[in-house]
Structure 1
Amino acid sequence: MEGCKNKLINLEDFILKQNDKESALISVLHYAQNQFGYINKDVQRFIAEKLEIPESKVYGVVSFYSYFTTEPKGKNIINVCTGTACFVRGAGDILNEFKKELNIHEGETTKDNLFTLDTLRCIGACGLAPVVTINNKIYGKVKPEDIKSMLKEYRE
């Protein structure tokens, strides 16, 4: 609980340093996401109060941008690129293999909070397609049979 209180104090300090509260929302949300790992309703309410804007505006921005999340993520964030180049080279099969191995669907986190599985539209590494990122580390030319060893690396 103390850690959460400190994060809110840090967030409030960050908000107070903003020159223009009207245009600070995106910056504040990025800061909050980095502090908490996600932006739940209480944090959204806090931001709205401190920026003196409606909660609905904060929620609207959080729900519009896929970068922001309202749910906690796992320790390891897996993103399967589903852009055109990756998709035609088998990203669907790779995504299905992750789902099978982790027993979750995209947007979900494993019960042990070790992995969250998500998809991205394109990361700009089409020459390496199909591409997977785990905690921003890029894996290229991934095959379904690579998934078990990739996961093993992060379970250890």
Structure 2
Amino acid sequence: MSIFFELGQRPDEPGPPISGPASYPEDVTARLSADAEKIIARYPHPRSALLPLLHLVQSEDGCLTNAGIAFCAKQLGLTNAEVTAVATFYTMYRRTPTGDYLVGVCTNTLCAIMGGDAILDSLQDHLGVHAGGTTEDGRVTLEHIECNAACDYAPVVMVNWEFFDNQTPASARELVDGLRAGSPPEPTRGAPLCTFRETARTLAGLPDPRSGGDRIGDATLAGLRVARERGMTAPDPDAAVGSDGGAPDDQKAAAEATQDAPAPAPSATVPPEPNTAETNPDATDSHT
């Protein structure tokens, strides 16, 4: 039996070469240079500032251009080839103009199981673009993402890296309709939405005037609650080592006391219903 793998970039990957003008106008160069000076000053070695500087020039054009590559190279004493090698490694640096809102749909394992593929298909039909494309009005760029690092709220859609949790095809369509109408909805968590270019300045490390970035979702804390209920604590870095030179003996005893406890059963309903056996072991499950 033979297995054939077709290698190469995905159709939705931003694959075109970086293009655009070779340099910025003098006034743009002066403005970006002032920002770059603040960013570079944070690092002991100037070249360490390359990633934030790429975000900075991306905030100017909505994507990377030849002018942005040349600017970063000159600021850091690198060659254009060195900057390009880094810039083309990361998908967060766009090679084609990006809309005001970059909508990323996660289709990795958990989000896919929970409906991420259906959301992506629905948005492609609704917006009339494939993943990687931008709507004709320039408002929305649709992106396929391998993981949004938010499995506790799957399926998740991100807009300019802000979370919209527990999405459905219908809610995702309403979301992009609001973006295109100029009425961006409030993220489930995090700060209010801003444009892609404004987000790029924040990612460059420049001040973010928005508030509300410290909201933590309830599901994110579920593991912490379980740990507290079981009396688990983080190891004390100053604690004495155990008799065998490893972890302290009392920590080993605590681990042995809990390791045989059954793990919580996977949720049978999404989201889990309160006062059922899956959320409260003392309750009688009405579904059985």
**Shorter-normalised TM range:** 0.7 to 0.9
User: 2:140, 2:176 within 8 Å by CA — same for their partners in 1?
Assistant: no
2:124 corresponds to 1:103: no
Q: Which residue of 1 aligns with 2:30?
A: 9
1:132 and 1:77 map into 2 onto residues whose CA distance is 10
2:117 corresponds to 1:92: yes
* Counterpart pick for 2:174 among 129, 143, 149: 149
Secondary structure in 1 matching 2:88: helix
User: 2:62, 2:99 within 8 Å by CA — same for their partners in 1?
Assistant: no
2:59 corresponds to 1:34: yes
Shift of the 54–82 alpha-carbon distance from structure 1 to 2, 3 Å rule, reads same
Q: Normalized against structure 2, the TM-score is what?
A: 0.48
User: 2:140, 2:180 within 8 Å by CA — same for their partners in 1?
Assistant: no
Q: C-alpha displacement at 1:67, in angstroms?
A: 1.4
2:26 and 2:133 map into 1 onto residues whose CA distance is 27
Q: Which residue of 1 aligns with 2:138?
A: 113
| RMSD, matched Cα | 2.2
Query: Normalized per residue, which structure has more helix?
Result: 1
User: 1:14, 1:28 within 8 Å by CA — same for their partners in 2?
Assistant: no
> Deviation digits for residues 72-125 of structure 1, max 9, x if unmatched?
211121110122110111211110111111111111111210110012222232
Query: Normalized per residue, which structure has more strand?
Result: 1
- Which sections of structure 2, spanning at least 5 residues, go unmatched? 1-23, 182-288
**AA matched with 1:45:** A
Shift of the 22–151 alpha-carbon distance from structure 1 to 2, 3 Å rule, reads closer
2:90 corresponds to 1:69: no
- Which sections of structure 1, spanning at least 5 residues, go unmatched? none
**AA matched with 1:127:** D
1:66 and 1:93 map into 2 onto residues whose CA distance is 23
**AA matched with 1:102:** L
1:137 and 1:21 map into 2 onto residues whose CA distance is 29
Higher mean C-alpha displacement, 31-40 vs 11-20:
11-20
Shift of the 138–23 alpha-carbon distance from structure 1 to 2, 3 Å rule, reads closer
* Counterpart pick for 2:149 among 110, 124, 143: 124
Q: What count of residue pairs does the alignment treat as equivalent?
A: 154
1:60 and 1:82 map into 2 onto residues whose CA distance is 27
Q: Which has the larger radius of gyration?
A: 2
2:47 and 2:162 map into 1 onto residues whose CA distance is 35
Shift of the 37–127 alpha-carbon distance from structure 1 to 2, 3 Å rule, reads same
Q: Which residue of 1 aligns with 2:196?
A: none
Q: Normalized against structure 1, the TM-score is what?
A: 0.84
1:67 and 1:57 map into 2 onto residues whose CA distance is 17
Shift of the 8–80 alpha-carbon distance from structure 1 to 2, 3 Å rule, reads same
User: 1:85, 1:129 within 8 Å by CA — same for their partners in 2?
Assistant: yes
1:114 and 1:81 map into 2 onto residues whose CA distance is 20
1:111 and 1:5 map into 2 onto residues whose CA distance is 31
The sequence identity of aligned pairs, in percent, is 29
